[in-house]
Amino acid sequence: MQTREWLNRFDIINYSQAYRLVFEYIEAFYNAIRSHSHCGYLSPQQFEEEKTKKLAELEKCIA
């Protein structure tokens, strides 16, 4: 979903509300859920989970 499509669902009455809605979109969807090419087409959340699992496995091998 594009930012504009998401924002059109709301009756925005002032700048601060628009700012808050854009911030929520970026934090809740764009940065967390949407896949990114630099993460191997995983969402940042999935990428972080995979990285954490791999680090835990490496720590087990070292210990």
> What integer is the mean pLDDT of 8-37?
85
For residue 1, pLDDT beyond 70? no
What confidence score (pLDDT) does residue 5 get?
81
Higher pLDDT, residue 23 or 32: 23
**What is the per-residue pLDDT for 36?**
67
pTM greater than 0.85: no
For residue 50, what are the CA distances in angstroms to 4, 28, 30, 54, 59?
Answer: 31, 20, 19, 6, 14
Q: What is the mean pLDDT of residues 3-9?
A: 79
Looking at residue 43, its pLDDT comes to 81
pLDDT number for residue 51: 92
- What's the maximum distance between 2 C-alpha atoms anywhere in the chain? 57
Domain ranges of the chain: 3-62
Residue corresponding to tokens 């680090």: 55
